[in-house]
Structure 1
């Protein structure tokens, strides 16, 4: 399984929102119904006011005190009941949101704990953070607010329309006439802007590229005085985006302005007044009968506009749901079933016919057959891109071979539980990964129960003990806060972490690439002492550091070109001898060391 094979898959269902919210869908429906019914009850006082006005303007004596109190009490009771139902609905939605947010974060955490380590090497941390934090926060707006707000809006519109038709169906038809026009203008706006969407997206891409290019090139531009050309390229991208943005927004703004103006409360009220005047003139209805329409019909505008804005939020939530589902659908590293796990018998490592291809197409390694015998040092050398680091990461099971198998102590790595594998195989890579915790906790990450003495002994072997003691709080200093360490010092902390695990097999890949000269000597010394007596695989850059290796393997174009001892390879006068003749350096960015 490659890192690319483990890339997030496309959501399997057409509606990502439905899939994400499936566990709490029933609760959200109940919440929407509660808020919808509550919204209906809160509008009952409007009908009460209209009824009181009708009675007051009606024949003398129609306004009886008893009737007034009944209407007032009923209106107040409906208002408070509606508010209570809305509050219950909001509470139900927030509880449901808390449940699904909790579940999604735990699922994402568990998923990331099961994906191949190689998956992280092809992912920016911001991409993972967006799905785990930003997108789940976006879904919070959907679950906690979208359904209840939709329920309130739909409930207000529904009760208003029912009430108006109950008063007079003819006047009701005229009063709601502006609202179909709103959707007509809205659809036209979406169609007009959609035709320019491709240009808008392309313009966004060009300006993003121009910004990155401009910022990254500032040192060169200043050094060589090429400001005119650099500024011109950025300015051209900005101007092109401005044109695309204008083409995208011009039809949208015009149509949406017309749509919003059409259902503005004053516009709806104007339609009601004009229609009411005509009806009164034709003696179809009494003047006082127009009052309910003047009170209620303009109130439909606000929830109608709210529904329009909610569709925008729904689009954002759909994109967030797709990214979260992509993360949750990431293929995991296969683990042996319970009862089928096997424990290695010894530390011999064999690569048997191993091949690996990214995406199943780009072949990186082919037919690798190699044995790492217990207690020996095997060095992998070769030009940049030859497949050396990929071979090392297969041994660490960052991903699995496309063909062939790798065994540890006679057991296929795929039949060894990950926890068991990393108890036996340690690694020190160029990319140091430390967590936001104390130095002590970082060293003891693989053995949380290690004593302070064991942690300090590991730090001493890694040549970092004295530097840790010099920190403000010593081993309790927190990485990134009061523990400000250089790249080489962080590397030595990672070595101390590996030392504490005491693995029988050690993989070194670019172990000193980030270190300065002083730190490199300290790291080399630490690794030399740590590696004694262990099975060691070294990815080598400087050939003079691996000339005493038990076995040297030259990799080229993903295949083993030659292998043997330093003396034997020089005698063969092959690729290794050519590299040695060039000064003992290879065309790579990698480095490694051997035990003295």
Structure 2
């Protein structure tokens, strides 16, 4: 199973690490074997000391010791260097695996997010997605690059030490290892206590991420309306809440971990060995020289265990990060109907057939909406705020799919058209402009990277932004956010130029000219009208005077079509549209009068 399609039946951590599980096991084994080998010199020192102390006469001892001592020294040094080499190899394998899974996960998330409904992003804070894609994958480094090798080193050190100590004397081995079970007792208590607060700790991190993004993005509005105190207060509340969560997370760790570390301090372990060694010698059970291996080897177990306790503390964070990454990889994608279209529609006619949509079962947004957008025509969708206009536009763009009915392009259901192909045929300019951190040239050519300079400039002229770009010091090479700060209307015109360059057969405009001034709005309307020749154009409008020349006007109220026709036809009916026109449109008429005019269907 691939990373980008993990199974929900198994643990999230297991699924995230599945592609590199074998490498991590190999890394852990290398580290374990390497650590075992690095412990050999301690046994060698004890062996040499026992051999030397067992000689009766020093004069003859040296001659007898030379051969055995050198053999022990050579074996010890060989094991030491070989062990260090294996540990280094294990670390290298783990870090290479970490690099592999990091790139794989980021690519998998990018591919997944490319397939999710665009409407999914509107219900997610940008800080939430950023945390999973950047912060959480970075946090996994502790789990993939260090935990398995550290676990291997710890287990290797404990295993070889226990084998050696029990081989020397089982009674001394048992008492020498007494501090370590106590360490695990305190350590498990600390881990369990902190784990209970891990969810609130992760939630606090996410809240801070969202607060930072919202605060930075809202600085202009905050300054304009003089509400710095409130904005700072929201960020301060997020920080204070995280501080409380962090305190709850760390408080149980402090005393428990202090006791745990005290239990396996080398001095404490050595003290236990010497105390019981003295007792055993006094009872005649062992000789003083036989205490030496335990005094050398038992304290050597302390360092790996301490290292494990440090890395396990990070393991909780890494586990939470893996769960969030796994959740992001489980994000539902746009479903493609069986029998994906192999022949893409050549026509640009769009049919909306009995479409209904609701965000939940109790609040329907659209109900039984049907109409046709014929090629080369302009269709205007008008209605009061909250009537379902923008939802209808987003259904056409597959931000989400209809709950009922279907939408076809050239007779083919949109759900049978691959997303990349769909957006080559349906362009859109929405109220919220999204430009990437790149040059104006790259932003305009985002949909057609192969476009030449003349094509880019022609699109900019159509969108009435060419002259403004030429007035910049670096022209089309100006980078958004660095060399130039464009107004809302100017950003909208860049977005329109991008759609013009893409030249899709269908174009959806959701109040695309709302941020432009009156003069530029007229020019943009004229340019878009010229651009619409031979294309299907759907315009979401708030003001009736901007769409009076449309080929078809559809008035929507409470999610249903109230009236449909040309401007003069709707006026002749003397219905709701005519009453709205008499009131001067939504912006010119009173809000109360507008609501009365379209009170219901």
Aligned residue runs from structure 1 range 144-183, under 5 A: 144-183=145-184
Deviates more, 1:100-109 or 1:527-536: 527-536
CA contact (8 A) 1:9 1:326 kept: no
Which residue is equivalent to 1:31? 27
Partner Cα distance (2:459, 2:203) in 1: 54
Give the structure 1 partner of residue 457 of structure 2.
456
Task: Name the counterpart of 2:37.
Answer: 41
**Matched position secondary structure for 2:44:** helix
Q: TM-score, normalized by length of structure 1? A: 0.86
Please give the alpha-carbon distance, in whole angstroms, between the structure 2 residues aligned to 1:255 and 1:284.
36
Q: Which residue of 2 aligns with 1:491?
A: 492
Partner of residue 347, structure 1: 348
Does residue 52 in structure 1 map to residue 53 in structure 2? no
Alignment of 1:158-557 (within 5 A): 158-190=159-191, 250-335=251-336, 340-358=341-359, 362-516=363-517, 520-557=521-558
TM-score of the aligned structures, taking structure 2 as reference length: 0.85
- The structural deviation recorded for 1:197 is 7.7
- The more displaced of 333-342 and 475-484 is 333-342
The partner residue of 1:22 within 18, 25, 29 is 18
| CA displacement at 1:135 relative to structure 2 | 2.1
Q: Distance in 2 between matches of 1:558 and 1:192?
A: 51
Aligned structure 1 segments of 4 or more residues deviating by more than 6 angstroms: 8-11, 194-227, 229-248, 336-339
| Distance in 2 of aligned mates of 1:24 and 1:203 | 30
Unmatched tracts of structure 2, length 5 or more: 593-601
Q: Report the Cα distance in structure 1 between the residues aligned to 2:273 and 2:442, rounded to whole angstroms.
A: 72
Which is worse superposed, 321-330 or 354-363?
354-363
Supply the distance in 1 between the matched residues of 2:456 and 2:222 (Cα, whole angstroms).
46
The structural deviation recorded for 1:204 is 9.2
Shifted more, 245-254 versus 510-519: the winner is 245-254
TM-aligned CA deviation for residue 512 of structure 1: 2.3
Preserved contact between residue 438 and residue 476 of structure 1 (Cα < 8 Å): yes
Secondary structure, aligned partner of 2:367 = strand
CA distance in structure 1 between the partners assigned to 2:202 and 2:116 by the alignment = 32
413-422 or 497-506, which deviates more: 413-422
Within 2, Cα distance between the matches of 1:20 and 1:209? 25
Question: Could you tell me how far apart the structure 2 residues matched to 1:500 and 1:438 are?
Answer: 16
Could you say what secondary structure the match of 1:450 adopts? coil
1:340-398, CA deviations, whole angstroms, 9 ceiling, x for partnerless residues? 42332532221111111225664221100112223222211122221110101111222
C-alpha distance in 2 between matches for 1:130 and 1:245: 18
Deviation of the 1:12 alpha carbon: 0.6
Q: Which residue pairs with 1:3 in the alignment?
A: none
* C-alpha deviation, 1:34, in angstroms: 0.8
Deviations 1:240-261 (A, max 9, x none): 9888876765554223322221
Q: 1:40 to 1:207 in 2, by over 3 A?
A: closer
Q: SS at the partner of 1:351? A: strand
Gaps of 5+ in 1: 1-7, 589-596
Task: Output the aligned Cα RMSD.
Answer: 3.8
Aligned to 1:90: 91
**Matches of 1:217 and 1:450, distance apart in 2:** 36
Q: Secondary structure at the match of 2:372?
A: strand
Q: What is the aligned length?
A: 580
- SS of the aligned residue for 1:261 comes to helix
Evaluate the alpha carbon distance shift between residue 237 and residue 448 of structure 1 in structure 2; reply closer, same or farther with a 3 A threshold: closer
Shift of residue 208, structure 1, vs aligned partner: 10
- 385-394 or 544-553, which deviates more: 544-553
